[in-house]
Amino acid sequence: MDAKAAIQKAARELGFSDCRIAECSPAEHRDAFRRWLDDDCHGEMEWMARTPERREDPSLLLDNARSVIVVALSYWQGEAAETSTDQHGATGTIARYARGDDYHLIIEDRLADLCCVLEDLGGVQKSYVDYGPVLERDFATTSGIGWNGKSTVQIHRSLGTWFFLAEIITTLELTPDTAAQAHCGKCTRCIDACPTDAITQPHRVDARRCISYLTIENPGPIPIEFRKALGSRIFGCDDCLDACPWNRFAQVARDANRFSRPHLERMALRDFLALTDAEFRELFRQSPIKRIKRPRFLRNVCVALGNVGDESDLPALERSAQDPNPLISEHAAWAIRQIQLGQNEAID
């Protein structure tokens, strides 16, 4: 068995859904990336603009780098439960990838094991999940993992849109796989599905309008103009992913249970507002949600309650409106006004 076959076999045994090889060369869409930065479409994500040349060329990340190994890991859990309102109160919507354990922890362990295989083959390497300085979707396309959809989400023939990407840059000279061809055709379902028109043209997303950005990366208030569009979402958004017709081929992930915590999906929105900082950290231990911390998360919860809550949620919101953190108190006050406005309209 040659080195490439041994690596791909090890990747499958470690639980990765796919493993392909790209040549270690500058990213194909580096000019488009620079234009995106120049137009401030990255919003407050300042790290995206730091040393962009390192993101564009993986050879700058490792001396004598020759290949980029791209792996995919499915997180499809099956059809998601709908947001509901019952005697316990309205529930929120969390993006599928964030409903269970932090994918960084899951993938990093497997990457470390795969790097051991590469070391045995004589390679020196660096591995990255999505926080690393790599334009990963370009290399995923070049490696043949999938193609970049019009929403900028990567699409795989048999995984749909429900998978993570990770990369290993190595000094091993491996035979590259054939680049993937796009198979979106004239379809614009992902663009049409975006609640905030964040996909301003095919293959270009203005993060400042994107619900995932607004609820996760955005450190400040949710702009008033987008609050109603959030609906019940409290962390991320799956609308453009959900809309992709290639998802009809997706199968439930081998370790789908690690990507789901049903008790969180059933938890009433108003109950999140009662969490102390320590309780928040414990509830979301080893979850990607923990990263945004309590004030930003409760900001999102307040907006969701303003959209899907009712008068039974007012006591919890009124307490949050007194929170010393203005990010929480201002959004709680907004939610109270929205619920009261809905009550007045119902009376009229």
Catalytic residues: 130
Strand spans (E) along the chain = 18-23, 67-74, 85-86, 89-90, 93-94, 125-128, 147-148, 154-155, 163-170, 199-201, 204-205, 233-235
**How far is the C-alpha of 184 from the C-alpha of 164, rounded, in Å?**
20
Residues in CB range of 72: below 8 A, 6 or more apart: 16, 17, 18, 19, 140, 145, 146, 156, 159, 163, 164, 165
Kindly give the interhelix angle for 326-347 and 293-308, rounded to the nearest 10 degrees: 0
φ, ψ of residue 284 in degrees (nearest 5): -110, 30
How far is 3 from 67, CA to CA, in rounded Å? 12
Q: With H, G, I as helix, E, B as strand and everything else as coil, classify residue 58.
A: helix
Cβ atoms 115, 150 nearer than 8 A: no
* The two three-digit tokens of residue 341, written as one number: 């406005």
